[in-house]
Amino acid sequence: MATQRTTFTSPKGIAMWPWLNTPDTKFNPDGEYKVNLRIPTEEAEPLMGQIRGWLEEYKVDQIKKDPKLSRFGISYPYEEEIDDQGNLTGFTIFKFKQKAKIQTRDGSVLSMKVALFDAKRNPTTVRVGGGSVLKVHGFALPYAMHSTKLFGMSLKPMSVQIINLTEVEITTASSIFDEEDGYEADLEAEAAEAKVKPVNLSEELDDSVDF
């Protein structure tokens, strides 16, 4: 782990504020795919142990290269959930984030995305909403942040398996009106005129992940 990325697959958890179909551009114009996963702490312990081990190995390796880093603390990409009364809930929140665009060393730009699969491992493009039960497959990338004097680890989602789906409710402009008697558009004629061609996004998804 000290010198390379390590892949993982999370236990099942409840999705919080997922941006998996399209990237969130609120704070980053290029966009970020992200989701927080609420996992029972007991079930999350094996992954938490792996992350602690990976980070400790990375820290030891980096300190050998630069002894000054021995003063750095460690920040983990998860935290135990606490209720309004300050009590532990028995759940741990894992944070996953992946930039939608990555610039390589040669200056080229890679467009990233998160592949989605259903419970039977079939590719899907369904819109994933908060409350969905998911498993996340990705890679763990350690780092040393000099500005905060902390070692940390980013959990980068590559693909997601949807165990139980809560779909995103999409409100369209037309939904604010009631239906009335009167003019009705010829949808088939307009589609033909516009030469609408459906796009099968599922052909682009990688179905090789073994969940």
Read off the pLDDT of each residue in 81-93 and give the average, rounded to a whole number: 96
Measured CA to CA, the distance from residue 113 to residue 83 in angstroms comes to 33
Measured CA to CA, the distance from residue 137 to residue 116 in angstroms comes to 10
Name residues whose C-beta falls within 8 Å of residue 90's C-beta, 6 or more positions apart in sequence: 40, 41, 42, 81
3-state secondary structure (DSSP) of residue 46: helix
- The three-point CA angle 1-151-63 to 5° equals 70
Report the pLDDT value the prediction gives residue 186, as an integer from 0 to 100.
64
Q: Are 20 and 147 in contact (CB under 8 A)?
A: no
Report the pLDDT value the prediction gives residue 187, as an integer from 0 to 100.
57
Report the pLDDT value the prediction gives residue 190, as an integer from 0 to 100.
53
**Predicted confidence (pLDDT) per residue in 132-186, tens digit:** 999 999 999 999 999 999 999 999 999 999 999 998 766 555 556 677 776 666 6
Q: Are 51 and 77 in contact (CB under 8 A)?
A: yes
Q: Are 72 and 149 in contact (CB under 8 A)?
A: yes
Report the pLDDT value the prediction gives residue 32, as an integer from 0 to 100.
97
Measured CA to CA, the distance from residue 66 to residue 83 in angstroms comes to 40
Measured CA to CA, the distance from residue 115 to residue 12 in angstroms comes to 17
Report the pLDDT value the prediction gives residue 182, as an integer from 0 to 100.
65
Report the pLDDT value the prediction gives residue 204, as an integer from 0 to 100.
40
**Predicted confidence (pLDDT) per residue in 7-24, tens digit:** 999 999 999 999 999 999
Q: Are 92 and 81 in contact (CB under 8 A)?
A: yes
Report the pLDDT value the prediction gives residue 103, as an integer from 0 to 100.
85
| Ramachandran quadrant class, 107 (left: phi over 0; alpha: psi -120 to 50; beta: rest) | left
Give 105's pLDDT tier (boundaries 50, 70, 90).
confident
Measured CA to CA, the distance from residue 75 to residue 107 in angstroms comes to 30
With a cut of 70, say whether residue 112 has pLDDT above it.
yes
Report the pLDDT value the prediction gives residue 179, as an integer from 0 to 100.
73
Residue 182's alpha-carbon distances to 91, 172, 174, 185, 186, in angstroms, are: 55, 21, 15, 10, 13
Report the pLDDT value the prediction gives residue 211, as an integer from 0 to 100.
61
**Predicted confidence (pLDDT) per residue in 49-86, tens digit:** 999 999 999 999 999 999 999 999 999 999 999 999 99
Report the pLDDT value the prediction gives residue 181, as an integer from 0 to 100.
72
Alpha helices in the chain (DSSP H): 41-65, 187-194
